Amino acid sequence: MQNPLFTILAVVAYSGAGLLLYRGMLHDSRKLKDYAIYLVAVGLIAHGGILAGFWLGDGAVDVSALHILSACSWFMVLSLVGSRFFDHPLVDSGLIAFPLTALIVLLGSLLPQASMPLENMSPGTRIHVLSSVSAFGFLGIATVYALFISMLDRYLRRNKMTAISQALPALDILESLLMRLVFVGFILLSVVLVTGLIYVDNLLAQHLIHKTVLSFVAWAIYGVLLLGRWRVGWRGRTAVRLTLAATAVLLVSYFGSKLVLEQFLGQNWQV
């Protein structure tokens, strides 16, 4: 059960940060954007308190679907805030990421979930879990940028710009950031797949064969995108479509299969 105070604080802070960021982009206000970051920092702390209860409470990591999704969204927001210290900050993608994370936190408190503790994790399994969360975080941000590129491309083709689309970075910068994020996510996803193959005992017995196959499909699509960008210079709609397709397959491979097993079949990946 989530701490209700932490839940309310996280949902309000993330939602408020999304609204402040929207207004900051709309009016090109650095002050409003800074306020959004301060508010989202409060959300990260409250959200971290929620995750600590499920991941650090009794030494066993709870790998229920929504708890994993919540951890991925927390890491995604943390990465966005941390990017402020680099040359190309990614904070603008919080326009989608902040309210989405608020929704995930809220659903985690409203929807009933059976606890799925993962006890006695080996160092290899910990690397697998942490790299999974990190990969989903980076690829989640990449998906947001793919949506931005799609929106900006559509407005440019129609020669009809909005205040928000004008506030976004130039299209070539968005595409460059997208490919960097996909590259980092691809490396992390490679670590996920390698550690999974090494440390998973029995794919069939643990109901993991379909998840593994779909994860490799997503990994291959991301790989084709990176190769096409390097060799042919793929960009624009091609890059967006491949990114969104790979993300969709990845979401189905992990969260789709996990939800079906836990909610409909009453099973999990440990047995």
Residue that wins the pLDDT comparison between 181 and 55: 181
Q: How far is residue 105 from each of residues 1, 14, 141, 165, measured CA to CA in Å?
A: 12, 10, 18, 28
What is the average pLDDT across 14-42? 93
Q: How confident is the model at residue 67 (pLDDT cuts 50, 70, 90)?
A: confident
Strands (E), the chain: 61-62, 117-118
Phi, psi of 75 (to 5 degrees): -65, -35
Q: Which pLDDT belongs to residue 205?
A: 43
Contact yes or no for 211/254 (Cβ under 8 A): yes
Q: What pLDDT, on the 0 to 100 scale, is given for residue 244?
A: 95
Ordered by start, the domain boundaries in the chain are 1-120, 131-271
Higher pLDDT, 271 or 74: 74
Pairwise pLDDT comparison (249 vs 212), residue with the higher score: 249
| Mean pLDDT, rounded, for 229-255 | 89
**Can you give the pTM of this predicted structure?**
0.84
Query: Does residue 90 surpass a pLDDT of 50?
Result: yes
- What would the mean pLDDT of 228-242 be, rounded to a whole number? 91
Average pLDDT over residues 228-239: 90
- Mean pLDDT of all residues in 230-251: 91
Give the per-residue pLDDT at 240.
Answer: 94
pLDDT tens figures, 94-131:
999 999 999 999 988 887 665 656 666 677 777 878 88
- Residue-level pLDDT at 118: 62
CA 57 to chain CA centroid, nearest Å: 24
Identify which of 138, 76, 101 has the alpha carbon closest to the alpha carbon of residue 14: 101
Where do we find the tokens 């932490």?
6
Q: What is the pLDDT of residue 168?
A: 81
The share of the chain scoring above pLDDT 70, in percent, equals 81
Pick from 118, 134, 270: nearest CA to 191 = 134
Determine which of 36-45, 76-85, 86-95 has the lowest per-residue pLDDT on average: 86-95
Residue 271: pLDDT band with limits 50, 70, 90: very low
- Give the number of C-alpha atoms closer than 13 A to the C-alpha of residue 125, restricted to the C-beta side: 12
> What would the mean pLDDT of 162-189 be, rounded to a whole number?
88
Q: How far apart are CA 12 and CA 102, in angstroms?
A: 8
- Calculate the dihedral angle through the C-alpha atoms of 242, 169, 33, 4, rounding to the nearest 10 degrees: 0
CA 107 to chain centre: 16
Question: What pLDDT score does 204 carry?
Answer: 43
pLDDT score of 111 = 74
pLDDT at 265: 47
d(CA 39, CA 27): 19
9 or 4: which leads in pLDDT: 9
Which pLDDT value is given to residue 135?
92
pLDDT tens string 258-267 = 655 555 445 5
